[in-house]
Amino acid sequence: MANTQTKIDLLEDQNSKLVAEIDELRKKCAKVEAENVKLRQVIGESIELKTRFEELEKKNKKDITNLSAENSELKIKVAKLELKLISKKNHTSGNF
């Protein structure tokens, strides 16, 4: 009977240790799950930022194209005005 009681005591001790270990594992699991929630949120925000960045890049390229075209048009207008100015100067000074 003492042998049986010893086995029972050992099993109870082992059970207590396993219950404590399960409790620790549950705590760790809860922490990991909370961290996963945070990471999913960060990933979602990162995806949103990447999408926004790509949209801004496209807009920037379009704006650069438009500004470049406008700049070219303005250069042409300035050149024409300079030619008119030179022509007027030549005309008024008599140097045709």
Query: Residues 38-85: pLDDT tens digits?
Result: 999 999 999 999 999 999 999 999 999 999 999 999 999 999 999 999
Asked if residues 75 and 81 have their Cβ atoms less than 8 Å apart, the reply is no
What tokens were used for 70? 């406008």
- The C-alpha atoms of residue 55 and residue 83 are separated, in whole angstroms, by 42
pLDDT at 28 over 80: yes
φ, ψ for residue 17, nearest 5 deg: -65, -40
Please tell me the predicted confidence (pLDDT) of residue 16: 98
Contacts of 90 (CB under 8 A, 6+ apart): 96
Domain boundaries, the chain: 1-96
pTM above 0.75, yes or no: no
